[in-house]
Amino acid sequence: MEEEQQQQQNPETEVVAEATEQSQQEYTWPLIRFDVPPHRTYHFHNQFKTSSVPNNFLKGIKWSPDGSCFLTSSDDNTLRVFTLPGNGSNHDFNANEQDLVVSEGESVHDFCWYPYMTASDPLSCVFATTARDHPIHLWDATTGLLLIFFSSIFAGYNKSVRIFDIHWPGRDFKQYSTLQGNKEGQTGIISALAFSPTHTGMLATGSYSQTSAIYNEDNMELLYILHGQEGGITHDGLVHIYDLQTGQWISGFRAAADTVNGFSFHPYLPMAASSSGHRRFEAPDDGNGDLHLTGDENCTSVWSFSYASMDNDDDGVNASDSNSQPEHENLHQDP
């Protein structure tokens, strides 16, 4: 009798064990096809047209760590939170709305999400900003309220990166030079920083010296110097893709008709968001110059990439019609 009961319980035990094993399996990142130009899924530009700042332009964009929304910064000292529906595949989404608008007192130098932010935990839905002549602020991404701040903050300076410990008020910081003893490394102002979304301890930086670099976050050890830019890091309207295993340039695509000042991958889906635009100056001898940027110049775009199929298909690639459209058509196509 006991043997029969054990035999009857075995199938259930196997099912539970199998479910437990599946739940313990790590998330598998989609294998993005960078050799295929991405398709622009969403396009935002009306949100950045303001009567008070006619020459307004975007300054950066960053996807939230959980992938539920992305955050933009623009020259009108304003940060905006955008949320896409579901998994970002609904083309009927109203591309004229933002979910939250936060205004700073002065020009915003940089901003970043709390690295463990998740929409299911409202206490984690915060982001930090640094503005001219203002202390570093921490904002509630759901209400727009100003909060206190915590954790360490990395900041880029001329040929160096400084780390501030928020738990200790004052002017104390750790400073790491981006130049090695033999003067190899990054020169110029470190104008962009990004951490690995998988928290692997790697930090990417971009400088005015036409270089990008990868560092070890713990001790700022230089791992790679990435070359191949023409002009500033984002001045050519192209998004450049590098292989972190070799440090070599792989491919690129045109994301806007103007300066690309921000690019952020979705943490889980084969998607990315870009921002573009720059300040326009009227020539002294030309009073008819148009300082307004068009929708393809001052804009935020969401891109969908082709990716390798998880099934053992003959071609092994998820062939999507939207991803096979010509690149120049994608750039000028609004919803």
Q: How many whole angstroms separate alpha carbon 305 and alpha carbon 36?
A: 8
Mean pLDDT in residue range 160-171: 76
CB 185 within 8 A of CB 161: no
- Predicted confidence at residue 104, as pLDDT, reads 92
User: 149 — phi, psi (to 5°)?
Assistant: -130, 165
Amino acid at 287: G
User: pTM of the predicted model, to two decimals?
Assistant: 0.62
Q: Percentage of the chain surpassing pLDDT 90? A: 17
Annotation: CATH topology of 31-280+298-331: Methylamine Dehydrogenase; Chain H (2.130.10)
pLDDT of residue 98 exceeding 80, the answer is no
Beta bridge partners of 260: 276
Which of 41 and 258 is assigned the larger pLDDT?
41
- Predicted confidence at residue 16, as pLDDT, reads 41
Among 35-39, 227-231, 264-268, 299-303, which is the least confidently predicted range? Answer: 227-231
pLDDT of residue 223 exceeding 80, the answer is yes
- Measured between alpha carbons, how far is residue 295 from residues 47, 277, 303 in Å? 10, 10, 16
Q: How many whole angstroms separate alpha carbon 198 and alpha carbon 48?
A: 31
Mean pLDDT in residue range 234-241: 72
Q: How many whole angstroms separate alpha carbon 23 and alpha carbon 20?
A: 5
